[in-house]
Chains A and B, each alone.
Chain A
Amino acid sequence: MIAVGDIVVGSIVAERTVHLTREALVRYAGASGDFNPIHYSDDVAASVGLPGVLAHGMLTMGLAVETIVPWLGDSGSIREYGVRFTRPVVVDPVTGAELRIVAKVGAIDDESARIDLTVTSGETTVLGKAQVRVRLP
């Protein structure tokens, strides 16, 4: 739950690491209805010039924002959430991919706070301007 002391610009409010596997991509394909084969077939990914099978951008976006839900307490406090898909996440068939998410307070006004999400895979930042506007209690 949000503690008032947490709401300081620059403070980290939540962080986690998610290990993505090919199984996770198939699970997301089924749950979301996005069956683009670049998210599960090495042959198709290679045929369109990709370095490998990629995670769905919407999977990365979806798991990134969930990092802050336990801290928020109520996901209904989220007023707005936007991202740019800047770099693909390649998911190796054997080792998968590790995503690191860090959520920091970016700005505060009277009614809301902007939480900035940094999402990295190895040294690469994969989402740009990943910002969540949340209503303050």
Chain B
Amino acid sequence: MNPELVGRVFPPTAPYLVGREKVREFARAVFADDPQHLDPAAARALGYADVVAPPTFAMVVQDQTLQQLLAQPDSGIVLQNVLHAEQRFRYTRPIVAGDELIGILSVTGVRAIGGNAMVTSEAEIRDAAGDHVVTATSVLVVGEGDE
């Protein structure tokens, strides 16, 4: 694990277009049967343009940012040695079908504990207008494995 990753900010991910059927698929997968996630009319009744993604859907975009981190040749991170310890989302608004989202990852902390490293990263997720949608913060425990 490379401590010099702290403070590194990655380029924005390629725009992710949130599809209605993808939101429905994700909703079914997390046992989210409230109509706002499945029925555009129910979502519109709440003031949204289309179906509303469940709160943890933001991880789909966050995951793209974490792939950037794992792909860094100097990261020293091997996927099999990674454990997800904590996760947090801070929302400005929910993700809605039709959104085009980008994620900007920054590594905010690396702390050694025993032979492991705790890596905190923040993915700031913005829409096509550049407005903030949600920030996803992960704490990963990275074991010292074979590189």
CA distance A61 to B59 in the complex (A): 11
B29 at the interface (CB under 8 A from A): yes
CB–CB B86/A84 < 8 A: yes
Binding site of A, secondary structure by majority: helix, strand, loop or mixed? Answer: helix
CB–CB B52/A76 < 8 A: yes
A residues at B contact (CB < 8 Å): 18, 24, 27-28, 30-34, 36, 48, 57-59, 61-63, 65-66, 69-70, 73-76, 78-85
Residue of A nearest to B32 (CB): A66
| Complex interface: chain B residues within 8 A of A74 (CB) | 36, 46
B residues at A contact (CB < 8 Å): 22, 25-26, 28-32, 34, 36-37, 46, 48, 52, 54-56, 59-60, 63, 79-80, 83-91, 93-94, 137
Known: A18-B31, A76-B46, A76-B93. A58 touches B59 (CB 8 A): yes
In this complex, the member of B29, B37, B48, B85 whose beta carbon has the largest number of chain A beta carbons within 10 angstroms is B29
Q: Which of A27, A28, A78, A80 contacts B88 (CB 8 A)?
A: A80
Shortest distance between the CB of A74 and any CB in chain B (Å): 5
CA distance A71 to B1 in the complex (A): 43
Known: A32-B59, A33-B63, A84-B85. A79 touches B90 (CB 8 A): yes
Known: A59-B29, A66-B30. A79 touches B56 (CB 8 A): no
CB–CB B30/A62 < 8 A: yes
CA distance A82 to B59 in the complex (A): 13
Residue of A nearest to B29 (CB): A31
Known: A33-B60, A65-B56, A78-B55. A83 touches B86 (CB 8 A): yes
Shortest distance between the CB of B24 and any CB in chain A (Å): 9
CB–CB B85/A75 < 8 A: no
Known: A75-B36, A81-B89. A66 touches B59 (CB 8 A): no
Known: A27-B28, A66-B54, A75-B52. A80 touches B63 (CB 8 A): no
In this complex, the member of B46, B56, B60, B91 whose beta carbon has the largest number of chain A beta carbons within 10 angstroms is B56
CA distance A36 to B80 in the complex (A): 9
CA distance A26 to B84 in the complex (A): 19
CB–CB B46/A57 < 8 A: no
CB–CB A82/B56 < 8 A: no
CB–CB A75/B54 < 8 A: yes
CB–CB B87/A57 < 8 A: yes
| Complex interface: chain B residues within 8 A of A76 (CB) | 46, 48, 52, 91, 93-94
The 8 residue pairs across chains A and B that have the minimum distance between CB atoms: A82-B88, A62-B30, A31-B29, A62-B56, A66-B32, A28-B29, A76-B94, A63-B31
CB–CB B84/A57 < 8 A: yes
The 9 sampled A-B contact pairs (Cβ below 8 Å) are A27-B29, A28-B29, A74-B36, A75-B34, A75-B55, A76-B48, A81-B88, A83-B86, A84-B85
